[in-house]
Amino acid sequence: MNQKDKIQFAGMGALILITVFIIPLLNGAVSSDSWMHIPSYQMNLWGKYLAYAILAVSLNLLWGYTGLLCLGQCLFFGLGAYAFGMHLMLMIGEQGAYKSVLPDFMVFLGYTELPAHWKPFYSFWFASGAVLWVPGLVALIFGFLAFRSRIRGVYFSIITQALTYAACLLFYRNDFTFGGNNGFTDFKTLLGIPINSDMMQRSLFISSGIVLTLCLLFCWWLLQTKYGKVQRAIRDSENRVLFSGYSTTSYKLFIFVVAAIMAGIAGSLYVPQVGIVNPEEIQPYKSLEVVVWVAVGGRATLWGPVVGAIFVNALKSWATYHYPEFWIIILGALFALCVLFLPGGIASLLPVVKAKASQFVAKFKGRPLAAAEGPGESA
């Protein structure tokens, strides 16, 4: 990455951080009567978009930079969401509808005591760690078996989608101890603070923005290393990398696990802001939507997935309110148009805009563009 790209990256990173702190400031420090005031529900909605952006960045690390199209990324998102949701459910305590220390769905299903695997989740720190190691462990086991068997290309995409579908069916079962089709909801507190309070929602929004920035910094750093170069070489021609003496299995497995952990973190930030998690979040079509976000924003670019996730979900919020029956058609048309006419995504428009701006500036100054770019000009 040259100096110009570094400046651009730093500038956009600073823009995210500034926005992340300005929006909560306009929510908490500005009177609700002011036109500058941002309502809590609006900040909460944008916090959800930031969590989705982290999920898109995790898929881009796999698909854009390693060439692994995973159609099950929402499985890891859901595992992180459920891991953190277990802690939130236990924090409800006797504030639930049944006035029991057990989660309401367990009382309804006739449980008399808390299952053993739920008890460690009373600890906030254990739940926070589970957000990392649960999706990471699943990705490690599945990835080891898949990559050792030399499964790649479209076969890898199909098998990840099959894994997601199988996991979704498990979570729909009442006897799986995760709430069945209703999942987890009606959360009350987080770290002793009411989860619906403005202060907590502002904290979650800021946390989402900071985590997104850290994920982007990690991806940027990884791409500068030798590991990142081999990673992109695997995407372009895995056979050549194998002939060069590198073990592509270990490289792909590492990236697969890291992307799963990032998706799990996104899920843990999503749950307290949305207030619910159920098997719907693990449905295979959800992972296909993430693919659309990355494609529309710009695959194999650092900022493209962020732009794509926010743009598509903002469009979804608008379309499902005004034209709910046409949203699927709009999404499909958007993806088709992007593939046909803008394969580089929204991110590919930036060089075009910059070139047009340079032409405009050159004409505005009364200087022919050819003269400005001719060989006689000094650099």
State pLDDT tens for residues 276-312: 999 999 999 999 999 999 999 999 998 899 999 999 9
d(CA 228, CA 63): 13
- pLDDT tens-digit series, residues 40-59: 888 889 999 999 999 999 99
**Beta-carbon neighbour count of residue 96 at 10 Å?**
18
d(CA 297, CA 306): 7
pLDDT of residue 249: 93
Instruction: Give the H or E element holding residue 230.
Output: helix 226-236
pLDDT of residue 188: 93
**Strand ranges (DSSP E) for the chain?**
184-185, 189-190, 193-194, 276-277
Token reading at 285? 């079509």
d(CA 309, CA 47): 12
- pLDDT tens-digit series, residues 16-48: 767 777 878 777 778 777 777 788 888 889 999
pLDDT of residue 378: 39
d(CA 167, CA 339): 30
Token reading at 298? 């710009």
d(CA 158, CA 6): 37
Question: Would you place residue 9 in the very low, low, confident or very high pLDDT band (cuts 50, 70, 90)?
Answer: low
d(CA 106, CA 113): 9
Separation in Å, CA 309 to CA 15, 54, 124, 295: 17, 9, 29, 10
**What single letter denotes the amino acid at residue 115?**
P
pLDDT of residue 95: 85
Per-residue pLDDT averaged across 242-266, rounded? 94
SS3 368: coil
- pLDDT tens-digit series, residues 161-193: 999 999 999 999 998 999 999 999 999 999 999
Nearest to 88 by CA among 139, 35, 127: 127
Q: How many residues does the chain have?
A: 379
- pLDDT tens-digit series, residues 206-225: 999 999 999 999 999 999 89
pLDDT of residue 35: 79
Q: Which residues does 42 contact at the CB level (< 8 Å), separation at least 6?
A: none
pLDDT of residue 173: 93
DSSP 295-358: HHH-TTSSSHHHHHHHHHHHHHHHHHHH-GGGHHHHHHHHHHHHHHH-TT-GGGHHHHHHHHHH
